[in-house]
Structure 1
Amino acid sequence: MSSLNVAVIGLGAIGREHCDIYSTLRDVTLTAVVDPAAASEDVSRWPDAKLKSSLDEVLADDSIEAISLCTPDHVHFDDAKKIIEAGRHLLLEKPIAAVPDQAEKLVAIAESSRVVAMPGHTLRFEPRYHHARQVVSGSELGQIVHGYLRRNNKVSVAARAAGRVSVGYFLGIHDIDALQWIASANVVDVQARETRIRDASGRQAAAIMATLGLESGALIQLEAAWALPENNPTDLDARFRLVGTSGELSIDSYDSGIHVTSDHFALPMPAGAPMYGRAQGALREELASFVQCCLDGGPLPITMREAAQAVMVVDAIEESIRSGRLIPVRQCQ
């Protein structure tokens, strides 16, 4: 296979980014998009893409070889299952499913298929996190003792989620996957609490805190929240820190090194913004890796099994919040 015809299902914020990136990648043609709310003029920015009415219509087109599934979390399982069983390559946005049973079933379906089924966890493609994995795997930190993970977004992000998904599944799962990957160790138990203060929908907590126990015996504190005020100078306040017996590493994503002062003070984050008409950043690297795996059959940088294990951790966090107890994390079978 020398080129790849791709469709994108779901034209929310992340789905549109997928479309923009695919339209600039070599050896890729964005041939179709699906979104019930989209009109033909909405997709004119991608001239090769046809607006189709449903996933079934996409799967009826034998020329489409790969699909990015960017729909809401609660419909991931049914659509992903249908795509894999139809023999199409799949890039599935995180989380791969909304409940552990569905995640585990997707692992079985993917591992028994002959298609590329790759989860979308962008921190795997962020250079600083990739380097952190090399540091830890090279034993520069010694044995990990403790750590701290933080991911805070503005209240507008919670408003966009509109109560459909918890902050653990929307934000915390990024750092949970990164932790298990970088540390090469699974989380085996969790203790968690959430704020009584809710998001604007009233359905989700504004913030959660969790203590994650690694199989090595290390303890990691996780903070995930979408309560930053809109006038906060940066859209993202994130931190990843591990302390070991012989070293320490930290990644700080609050200040990218550019400060802008006009009628307000801002800390822009241009790392993923297009340059010279070309997409760049971690999401581009993720999609380019997916395309390369589809074209040459190379090893996946992240598997469905790894993504499913992150789902298991978030589910345990939410059970701990409900029960007030230390919860063992189910291990993906």
Structure 2
Amino acid sequence: MTTLRIAVAGAGLIGRRHIELIQASNACQLCALVDPAPAAAELAAATGVPLYTSLAQLFAAQQPDGVILATPNHLHVEGALACVEHGVPALIEKPVAHTLDEGKRLLAIAEQRGARLLVGHHRAHSAILEKARELIGEGLLGKLVAVMGSALFYKPDDYFDAAPWRRQAGGGPVLINMIHEIGNLRSLCGEIVAVQAQASSATRGFAVEDSVAISLRFASGALGTFLLSDTAACARSWEQTARENLDYPSYADEDCYVIAGTRGSLSIPSMRLKYYEQDQDRSWWKPFNTAVAPLDQADPLQRQLAHFCDVIQGRAEPLVTVRDGLRNLQIVEAISQAAHSGQLVLTESL
């Protein structure tokens, strides 16, 4: 089997993680690093690959089999379009674009050219979500009725000191963190068609929100609530419950999602089930059957890289397309609009 040659653009934290995974893979190898920052030279020397200051310089020198774009958000579309122009498949870190208009421009060109672009919503590759989708798809929960979700965590002061823009509009948890949750909820419960929200900055007193209460309506008619806060000393977040990123302490007694249907409910990521059998009378007076769905733990970033290799070789279609990435961005924008206006926002209106 041919070993794929992959270049990484961006030598920040996520770029370095992609490099580690490429180096550990049997399916691909690192062929170049793209980053204009002086500090990138040390990383390129350590990994033994050439360093280029731009994608244009990279493509003038060599034609990689794929490119991972781990650049700052405002460079995602520009980088993706450069890859499309040279016929090179790309993995674009989330968000797919820094504005809706730019995302729509990328979508139009990518679909017209039939480009192979995968958006880096890595949780879509989670074994936890895969198992949850399987259980929901089998009908074990019945018709979905409601979902309760949370992303409650405490960001320390130095998080904001290191990047003061996080204290300003656009630096709050809606735009930074909620896009992950939207991708998860859409994959589990279907399309989100309307949102309402209330935001508060009362705890930190910044110009941007620190806590948000969100109401969601799904195309199926199911309803959802979601609590988001970066100033809540609580463990009910994906990072602190999923045990997929071991940099975070985790708590097996906590869940961040509960999905309920007409026959049962599933708590995620503990995968605890409470359900009635198909022919069983359903009543709050009657006890549930209980179970814990088995899981095989896996690194979603590692699985995403393997999937990207399949996309490069034409063996798979992107699990998260540009259209999916843009849809996640649209819904996050709808939440921001709803929080500022106090009105119901229909997501198709964006």
TM-score tier (shorter) = 0.7 to 0.9
In the alignment, is residue 320 of structure 1 matched against residue 321 of structure 2? no
Q: Secondary structure at the match of 1:118?
A: strand
Partner of 1:276: none
Q: Report deviation, 1:12.
A: 1.7
Render the CA deviation track for 1:233-262: whole Å, top value 9, x for unaligned: 955786122111111111147xxxxxxxxx
Match for 1:247: what amino acid? Answer: G
Deviations 1:203-227 (A, max 9, x none): 5322222111111111111223322
Residue 41 of structure 1 corresponds to 42
Q: Residue 284 of structure 2 aligns with which residue?
A: none
Does the 8 Å CA contact 2:153/2:234 hold for their aligned counterparts?
no
Aligned to 1:84: 84
1:288–1:320: structure 2 CA closer, same or farther, 3 Å change rule?
same
C-alpha separation in 2, matches of 1:107 and 1:133: 26
Instruction: Trace 1:183-332 onto structure 2 (pairs within 5 A).
Output: 183=189, 185-197=190-202, 202-228=206-232, 234=248, 239-252=256-269, 281-330=299-348
Aligned to 2:16: 16
- Structure 2 runs not aligned, ≥5 long: 241-247, 271-295
Provide closer, same or farther for how the CA distance between residues 151 and 64 of structure 1 changes in structure 2, counting only shifts above 3 A: same
Tell me the residue number matched to 1:60.
60
* Greater Cα radius of gyration, structure 1 or 2: 2
Quote the residue 1:260 is aligned against.
none
| 1:111-151 deviations in Å (ceiling 9; x for gaps) | 22243200111221111111111111111111111111222
Give the Cα–Cα distance (whole angstroms) in 1 for the partners of residues 135 and 124 of structure 2: 14
Q: What runs of 5+ residues in structure 1 fail to find an aligned partner?
A: 254-270, 273-279
Distance 2:62 2:255 in 1: 42
Cα 1:20–1:114 shift into 2, 3 Å? same
How far apart, in 2, do the equivalents of 1:153 and 1:34 lie? 33
Q: Could you list the per-position Cα deviations for residues 11-63 of structure 1 after superposition, in whole angstroms to 9, with x for gaps in the alignment?
A: 2211110111111111312111123332422334422x222112221222333
Q: Which residue of 2 aligns with 1:180?
A: 186
Query: Which moved further from structure 2: 290-299 or 117-126?
Result: 290-299
Alpha-carbon distance between aligned partners in 2 of 1:27 and 1:129, rounded to the nearest angstrom: 24
Pairs aligned (count) = 305
Q: Which amino acid aligns with 1:209?
A: A
Shift of 1:93: 0.9
CA contact (8 A) 1:168 1:314 kept: yes
SS of corresponding position for 1:224: strand
Match in the other structure for 1:148: 148
The whole-number CA distance in structure 2 between the counterparts of 1:199 and 1:54 is 39
Q: Which runs of 4+ in 1 moved over 6 A?
A: 230-233
1:299 CA displacement: 2.2
Q: Helix, strand or coil: the match of 2:20?
A: helix
Of all paired residues, the percent bearing the same amino acid is 27
Q: Is the 8 A contact 1:40 1:51 kept in 2?
A: yes
Residues 89 and 294, structure 1, Cα contact 8 Å, conserved in 2: yes
Tell me the TM-score normalized by structure 1: 0.82
Judged with a 3 Å threshold, the aligned counterparts in structure 2 of structure 1 residues 297 and 36 are, in CA distance, closer, same or farther, namely: same
